[in-house]
């Protein structure tokens, strides 16, 4: 034991337990790997779901899975062939690793977020240990450089990548409307209206991204205003509405033609309610991964007619590639410039590793909670 192990937060699905484990210290074992000392790890809904044992899978042969897929760390060792990083650099890791099927084009081309056979792995989620521990090692290609001024914010890069990839999808679809594209140098959302569903970290970061992209941005969420999340939303120049105060139809009447709906609410009920008011030629981007619980009755013929007669596009998006991480770091820098006080407030608490039970299985609280490693 002694120096060869470190403390890690892990689930043991066979025993339905969440606990601190002694985990082997990782070693650099190839020329292109780097070793990183963990600084911050974010807690997200997926982690909490893994702690209910409906999701998440330890590596083959292990009985535990080290949690954590949102991380910021500092490089402490580099393999001999590493070119992009040096010791002391701040970095964020990506989550998904490619499958080994030579027939999987996406994985063979560093686009494992589109893996076609489900054989990908994900750090802290599926068959590879995560980052909720003192050190981790991986190939340099899975990391993105973070400038020092983002030390206190960059743990939010991973949740922001969801919006980065989501919006990239929406723009890819909307190339079908060439007249809607703005002039060179202007933000792509200029003159368009976006509704963000949900005011958790993915929703708030997504709303910030929409504002930066020039959209007239609205957030539709559960809690009645005033509340701390609604305040953050108003501070960035977006509008907040609670679903308990206005219906989706009333929301649409206030917004006008809804060009983009970015779903970050996680549940199908609100999502499908609001899908029905997506504007003509609009795009609906789904990002939530609900536990399979809800069955809805919907006016499916009416919805299908609208999808066809009004060219509605519905896109699902999962995970993110290196480009999305690079864009997330650039945008965190932009958010920090525009709203230095507000972006800080998205992180509502920094905790010790000893608080893991409270954070992962206790009552959900705050917006983004982080375990800080000293
Ligand atoms: C993570 C993604 C991951 C997805 C599915 C999300 O919480 O942010 O990286 O692909 O869960 O496991």
Concatenated DSSP letters for 269-332? HHHHHHHTTPPTT-EEEE-----TT------HHHHHHHHHHTT-EEEE--S--HHHHHHHHHHH
- Is the CB–ligand 1 distance for residue 287 below 6 Å? no
The pLDDT assigned to 155 comes to: 98
Q: What is the DSSP letter of 134?
A: S
> Do 159-316 and 6-146+346-372 have the same topology in CATH?
no
The mean per-residue pLDDT over the stretch 36-42 comes to 98
Pocket test for ligand 1, best of 47, 48, 69, 160 (most atoms within 8 A of CB): 69
- Is the CB–ligand 1 distance for residue 121 below 6 Å? no
The two three-digit tokens of residue 14, written as one number: 């066979």
Pairing outcome for strands 121-123 and 96-97: antiparallel
- Is the CB–ligand 1 distance for residue 157 below 6 Å? no
pLDDT in tens, 241-267: 999 999 999 999 999 999 999 999 999
pLDDT bucket at 148, cuts 50 / 70 / 90: very high
Residue 194 in contact with residue 260, Cβ under 8 Å?
A: yes
Superfamily name and number for 6-146+346-372: Medium-chain alcohol dehydrogenases, catalytic domain (3.90.180.10)
pLDDT in tens, 273-319: 999 999 999 999 999 999 889 999 999 999 999 999 999 999 999 99
pLDDT at 1 over 70: no
Closest CA to 265 of 228, 236, 226, 294: 294
36 three-state secondary structure:
strand
Pairing outcome for strands 283-286 and 33-42: unpaired
Residue 210 in contact with residue 236, Cβ under 8 Å?
A: no
CA atoms within 13 A on the CB side of 181: 12
Domain ranges of the chain: 6-146+346-372, 159-316
The pLDDT assigned to 244 comes to: 97
pLDDT in tens, 112-126: 999 999 999 999 999
Atom number in ligand 1 closest to CA 318:
10
pLDDT in tens, 64-94: 999 999 999 999 999 999 999 999 999 999 9
For 159-316, CATH number out of 3.40.50.970, 3.30.1490.20, 3.65.10.10, 3.40.50.720 equals: 3.40.50.720
The mean per-residue pLDDT over the stretch 33-62 comes to 97
74 three-state secondary structure:
strand
- 296 CA to middle of ligand 1, Å? 25
DSSP assignment of 350-370 equals EE-GGGHHHHHHS---SSEEE
């Amino acid at each position: 034991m002694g120096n060869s192990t470190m403390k890690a937060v892990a689930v043991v699905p066979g025993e339905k337990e969440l606990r601190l484990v002694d985990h082997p210290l990782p070693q650099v074992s190839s020329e292109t790997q780097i070793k990183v000392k963990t600084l911050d790890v974010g807690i997200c809904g997926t982690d909490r779901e893994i702690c209910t044992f409906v999701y998440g899978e330890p590596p083959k042969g292990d009985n535990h899975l080290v949690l954590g897929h949102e991380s910021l760390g500092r490089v402490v060792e580099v393999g001999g062939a590493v070119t992009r990083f040096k010791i002391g650099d701040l970095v964020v890791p990506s989550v998904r690793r490619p499958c080994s099927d030579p027939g999987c084009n996406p994985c063979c081309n560093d686009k494992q977020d589109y893996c076609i056979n489900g054989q990908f792995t994900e750090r802290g989620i599926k068959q590879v240990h995560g980052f909720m521990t003192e050190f981790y090692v991986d190939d340099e290609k899975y990391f993105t450089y973070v400038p020092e001024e983002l030390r206190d914010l960059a743990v939010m890069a991973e949740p922001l990548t969801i919006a980065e990839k989501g919006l990239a999808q929406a723009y890819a679809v909307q190339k079908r409307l060439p007249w809607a594209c703005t002039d060179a140098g202007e933000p792509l959302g200029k003159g368009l209206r976006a509704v963000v569903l949900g005011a958790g970290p993915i929703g708030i970061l997504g709303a910030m991204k929409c504002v930066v992209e020039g959209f007239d941005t609205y957030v539709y969420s559960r809690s009645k205003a005033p509340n701390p999340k609604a305040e953050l939303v108003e501070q960035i120049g977006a509008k907040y509405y609670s679903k308990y105060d206005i219906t989706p139809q009333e929301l649409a009447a206030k917004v006008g033609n809804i060009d983009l709906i970015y779903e970050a609410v996680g549940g199908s009920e609100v999502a499908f309610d609001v899908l029905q008011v997506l504007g003509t030629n609009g795009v609906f981007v789904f990002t939530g991964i609900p536990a399979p619980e809800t069955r809805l009755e919907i006016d499916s013929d009416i919805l299908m007619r609208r999808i066809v007669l009004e060219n509605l596009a519905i896109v699902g998006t999962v995970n993110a590639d290196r480009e999305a991480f690079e864009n997330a770091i650039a945008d965190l820098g932009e958010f920090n410039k525009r709203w230095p006080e507000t972006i800080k407030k998205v992180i509502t608490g920094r905790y010790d590793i000893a608080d893991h039970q409270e954070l992962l299985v206790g009552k959900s609280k705050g917006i983004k909670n982080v375990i800080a490693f000293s």
